Chain A
Amino acid sequence: MPIKPELLKALNEQTQNIPVAQERWPELAVELDQLRIAAEAALTVHDFDRDPGEFPAVLRSRRT
């Protein structure tokens, strides 16, 4: 289900409190939908034991 502009607006009022122009809410909803789809796609390889903090160590391990 796509993110609704009204939801973002309510979230902003309750939590972030940043100034956002009225006409931006529908655009932001589209942008955030795209990001959420990407995040969902990443879950297909989710590994419960994977620590994001391992990244520098994996970089070093992949040098050869």
Chain B
Amino acid sequence: MKRVSPIAVGCLFFFLVPCAFAGESLDKLYGTLEKPTYIKYYEIDKAEKVLLNPYLQIASAQHPGILHSRRSPYNWVIDAKGRVGIIQEADHPYGRTYAKGYVRPEDNSKRKPGTSEKYGHISAVAGAPSRIGGEILFDKRTRSWVINNKSGRYSLGNVDRTPEQLTNAAKLIQVVIDPGEVPWGSVVFLLKYAPKNVADELQKGPDVKYDDVATKSNPYVLVDPLPDNATLVGQAAANDDPS
């Protein structure tokens, strides 16, 4: 039997083990990789490929993304490598505009007349398995960016898309994406897009809030992702410019 060089085994160990741990870390931070819960008929072209969003940015420490309040809303998703894919809404070339409205097959909800079919979260990752996803919205009232976990493809229905994962994702987003002239604001965990056991637990707690308190519609909790020593892209420049 051939003897395997101990040096070779050692090198393999020191290469493979960190790789394994890195994957495990990302799973814990942002949720495990999961296929999108569905793909819409128009998101596939004739070759059955998912079209990438034409305004796609893949943000990382090496290549930060950039936002502008005029382009809100943005969708975001954490990909397999722990980068943040951000996209803008735009009417999809293979989609339709429904003069009479339509019923969405994924949740049987009705859409009002004039609604157009748009690029979704999967256009940030070409439909690949990904981690937690959501939206970045410009809040006109507070004039700040709001991050949430609203993604029917990558948040809804997944057991490990908890407030902790959203907090970690928001921290990452705020480090690798330049918010432009608009500061970062609230991070909102929507219970509708949470796993059922997590949503039920949070609903009983004191921190739950509602869009409409009377009807208790759209429950959510606020999470605060900013540690004292967070480094924010663009913050230094913004602080230097009082205007």
B is bound to A: no
